[in-house]
Structure 1
C-alpha cells in the first residue's frame, strides 16, 4: 500500500528544510509541489520520480484543490510513495489539515512532516524577533482575509485588541483595509509595521513604517509577503543581518577567511 507525506518545504531558503523533509523528497515516487517551494529542493528527488507542479497562487491554480486531492489518492492507491511538498508548514495556512482529512477518510496511510513557516522565518531574516521581553509577550499568526461567514469587522476588532505582535499572511492586497481597521479598533497609528517580500531568499526586500504611513512606502510590494505589526519591528534597525549590505559583508569575510 502506498503512503502520502504532507511536507513543509520551509519558507524559501532551501537550507531551511528539515532533515526528515529532505528524506521524503529523496524516497518519493511522486512529488506534488506548490509555487512557493524552492525548486532547487527537487534536485534531491530520484531520477525516476514524477514531479507534478500544483502552481497555487492567489486567484490562480494550475491544479484545483479537488484535482490535487484526486492525485494524492490515485498515486497512493497505486502503491506509490507520494510527497506533497508545500511552502512553509503544511498546517499553517497550507491546507494540510484538509488533505489529511481526505486521506484519513479514504483509508490512506499518511504522515505529517512539519516545516518552518514564513511567519517566523521571514521576520527572523529581517532582524525582527516576534517576542521580546521588553516589547512583546504574545504573537498571533493570522490570515489577511477572514474565514467564510465570519464578520469582517469583528475579525479585525478582535485582532486589534489581541496579541502584541501580529504576523499576517496573504494580506498585501488587503493592506489598506487592514491598517484602517486596526487603527479604528484601537491600535495606535504610530504602531510599527514591516512588509517582508520573498523572505529568506536572495530576493528578500523589507520596508518598515507605521500603520499610518506604510501605504506610502509599500505600493510596489506584492505577494508573497509577510506583514509584521507590533513594537518588535523597532528592533530591525539594530539587528538586521540578512539583506544586501549584510550579505556583502558576509561574503567578504568568508573570502578573507578562505
Structure 2
C-alpha cells in the first residue's frame, strides 16, 4: 500500500493537524506538495493513489492538432497534466514556443498558468474561479464566435466547456493529451484502517480520484467505508462527483488548489 509519513508537533505549540491521519488519493508523482503542506501542519500522510496519469492510447489526433497549431486562435489548458503532456509531444514533433504566437492561451488556474509560463508561454486568460465553466464565462461569446479552439486534455474530462464554446459559434477540437487510469495497489490495509476508524480524513483532488476510489471499494460500499472520517474535496465539481456516488462530503476548498484544500482541512480541526 502506500508509504506513511509523520511529522510530530511540539508540546509547546500543537499544529492543527497533529495526530491526524490524512489519506491522499492523487497520483504519487503529483502528491509532493500536498504531503509537505500536511506534514508542516503536523499531520500524518497516508499516500493511497487511486489513479495514474498515462499517455493517450493513440497520439494521432494530438499530433494532427499540433501540426495544424497555427490554425487555432485559442488554446485552452484545463490542468497542469494537459500542459505537460501537450508540451512533451509538441517538442517531440520539433515545434517551438514561437509556433504558438498566433494563438492566445487560456489556463484554468494559477498552477496551470505557472506551468505554461515556465515554458516561456504567455497566458492571455485566467479565470477568477478555477473550473471549466469559469473559463467559458471569462472568454464570453463574442471572443470565441467564429474562432478555432484547441482543447488538449484528459480523455475523461467533462464536456461542459467544449459544448458551451460550440454553442457560441466556435469550432472546437478536443484532443486526448493524456488519460487517467486506475492505480495498481492493494486496498486491503486502507479498508482495514477505515473500518477500525484509524483514518481522520480522506481527500479527493479530482473527479477521477473519487471515481476510482469508489471502484476500488465497490464491493465494500465506499460511502459506508467513509462514514467515520472527514471527506474533503478540492472543489465543487469533485464534490458533485462524490455526492453522485453517495459519498458524504464534509469540507470543500474555497480556493480550488492544494494549498486551499489543506487550509480548509486545518481550519476544520482548529475549530474542534
TM over 0.5: no
Higher helix fraction (1 or 2): 2
With the shorter chain as reference, the TM-score category is 0.3 to 0.5
TM-score, reference length from structure 2: 0.35
